[in-house]
Amino acid sequence: MTLEILINLAYVVAAGLFILGLKLLSHPSTARKGNLVSAVGMLVAVIVTLLDQHIISYHYIFIGVLIGGLYGAWKARSVQMTQMPEMVSLFNGFGGAASLLLGWATVSSMDSEVLASTHFFIFVTVLLTLLIGGVTFSGSVIAWGKLSGKLSSKALIFTGLRELSLLHIVAMAAVGFLFVNEPSNMLWLYCTIAIGLSFGLWATISIGGADMPVVIALLNSYSGIAASAAGLAVGNTILIVTGLLVGASGLILTNIMCKAMNRSLMNVLLSGFSKPVEQGEAISGEIKVLSAQDAFYVLEAAQAVLVVPGYGMAVAQAQHAVRELHILLEENGCTVDYAIHAVAGRMPGHMNVLLAEADVPYDQLYEMDDVNPRMENYDVAIVIGANDVVNPAAKEMKGSPIYGMPVIEAYRAKTVFVLKRSANAGFAGVDNPLFFRENTRMILGDAKDTINSLIREFGD
């Protein structure tokens, strides 16, 4: 058996491990195993690729693997769950940057004779790698800034933004044509990189924080598409397959997120170019504040409780306290369910990961469409740090920026406890009329401290 056949077989094995890993990632009970299987597949793919490329010296490669491995292991252990969304954004960005650098290196390493004899299709794939990789990298950096609070979560809109974006698209077509037809002129190569980076910046900075979960999913897809294009450029089969898997899964996830927000993908991407909507009538009323001790008396008598987690739960790291309260409620004869909105938190699946970390049974996690029809049956809905995903304005206020977005209708429960540090607007910057409802009680303060107070009341 020749070396080429062995290498191709190894690529098939790696691709099979990727597919199996994705399958295992579809359920919390097997997700950790799926992550490990995918990592083994990537290790096989990297080793085989290094053997296939006949590299003369491995010194710099070993140094890179050592530094990257140590740094990655440290970050994996030290990163907080509240920082996970922006970390995922950086992962997407680094994937785009890696594809961009591979495309740049592919052309830069060619001498004039090779450039003249290379088929134009290769330069088309390099062009796509540079553009998509550049958009992914700069867009992911902006998303990281918005998610981490280093940049304002509001959409940055200014006069001429629409024209600037149209100019970028025209420039992409013009410079792309020049690059493919004159690859020996490095000016077009660097112009292509600059346009891709610039377009990703302006395209993402004009999208508001409420749409960031969709943007993360889309950028994840972009990173896969860029990798697939890079694989075509360098003729690496496993890179093509891996990129297609990431690109396809990212697009599927993006579609799910858009459906959860009742918006089309183009509506999200072009949100920065739309005219500002009227804010409608002002929200006013009296907020009714409740102490943890008084909330305990209500929960003690409850027969059915619904927990609606949000980003505030992640900030307070309250998931383990929530699980402990869950157990105490069940011991008191109460049923406990969890309502998970597809865009709760700052990234897809954020709440699912938090609750899985606290060993909350997966069969007690319900999607919005499962709990809304029976919301009146819940004696208490405990909203923990969630805001936009339970905002009645999405159904009742046509002037609201989130009008039309499907939400968890917690306001229809018999009693609503809202656990927040304050009554301020959420990440989308939209006021919430739920706080002023007759059946709503605000329990202000750190969510973890509040829940621990409830736990102590049950223990007394």
pLDDT tens for the chain, 460 residues: list them: 577 788 888 989 999 999 999 889 877 778 889 999 999 999 999 888 887 766 667 788 888 889 988 988 888 888 876 777 788 888 899 999 999 999 999 998 888 888 888 888 999 999 999 999 999 999 999 988 888 778 877 777 777 777 888 898 999 999 999 999 888 889 999 999 999 999 999 888 888 776 777 888 889 899 999 999 999 988 888 899 999 999 998 888 888 878 777 777 776 666 544 444 444 455 666 888 999 889 999 999 999 999 999 888 888 889 999 999 999 999 999 999 999 988 887 777 788 888 888 889 888 999 898 999 999 999 999 999 888 889 888 888 776 767 778 899 999 999 999 998 876 665 556 678 889 899 999 998 889 999 999 999 987 6
Q: 417-442 b/e with 16+ CB inside 10 Å = b?
A: bbbbeeeeebbbbbbbbbbbbeebbb
Q: Which residue has the tokens 């490669």?
A: 61
Using DSSP's 3-state secondary structure scheme, residue 420 falls into: strand
pLDDT at 280: 46
Which tokens is 216 given? 């993360």
Do residues 338 and 304 lie in contact, with contact meaning Cβ atoms separated by under 8 Å? no
pLDDT at 51: 79
pLDDT at 267: 67
Which tokens is 64 given? 């890179």
The Cα–Cα gap between 252 and 125 comes to: 23
H/E stretch holding 324 reads helix 319-331
Which tokens is 239 given? 């890179």
- Pairing verdict, β 440-444 and 304-309: unpaired
Say what the alpha-carbon torsion angle 153, 157, 162, 167 is, to the nearest 10 degrees. -70
Name which of 50, 52, 39 is nearest 8 in CA terms: 52
pLDDT at 53: 66
C-alpha triplet 204, 214, 151: angle, nearest 5°: 40
Query: Residue 304's beta-bridge partner residues?
Result: 335
- In CATH, what is the architecture of 292-459? 3-Layer(aba) Sandwich (3.40)
Active site residue ranges = 388
pLDDT at 1: 57
pTM for this model (two decimals) = 0.78
Give how far Cα 340 sits from Cα of 10, 314, 330, 386, 418, Å.
Answer: 40, 14, 20, 10, 16
Tens-digit pLDDT profile for residues 350-388: 888 888 888 898 889 998 989 999 999 999 999 998 888
What is the side-by-side strand order in the sheet with 440-444? 365-367, 335-340, 304-309, 380-384, 415-420, 440-444
Query: Residue 419's beta-bridge partner residues?
Result: 384, 443
Name which of 443, 290, 444, 305 is nearest 380 in CA terms: 305
The Cα–Cα gap between 126 and 124 comes to: 5
Domain range list for the chain: 1-78, 83-273, 292-459
pLDDT at 276: 45
Residues 6+ apart with CB under 8 A from 450: 292, 419, 443
Helix axes 237-260, 3-24, angle to 10 degrees: 20
Do residues 338 and 366 lie in contact, with contact meaning Cβ atoms separated by under 8 Å? yes
The Cα–Cα gap between 419 and 299 comes to: 14
Tens-digit pLDDT profile for residues 236-277: 888 999 999 999 988 888 888 787 777 777 766 665 444 444
Task: Tell me the CB-side half-sphere exposure of residue 149, using CA atoms within 13 A.
Answer: 5
- Pairing verdict, β 415-420 and 365-367: unpaired
Query: Residue 336's beta-bridge partner residues?
Result: 305
Helix axes 237-260, 212-234, angle to 10 degrees: 160
The Cα–Cα gap between 153 and 151 comes to: 6
Please give the span between the terminal C-alpha atoms of the chain, in angstroms, as a whole number: 73
pLDDT at 403: 76
Task: Tell me the CB-side half-sphere exposure of residue 273, using CA atoms within 13 A.
Answer: 15
Residue 149's CB: how many other CB atoms inside 10 A?
Answer: 10
Using DSSP's 3-state secondary structure scheme, residue 207 falls into: coil
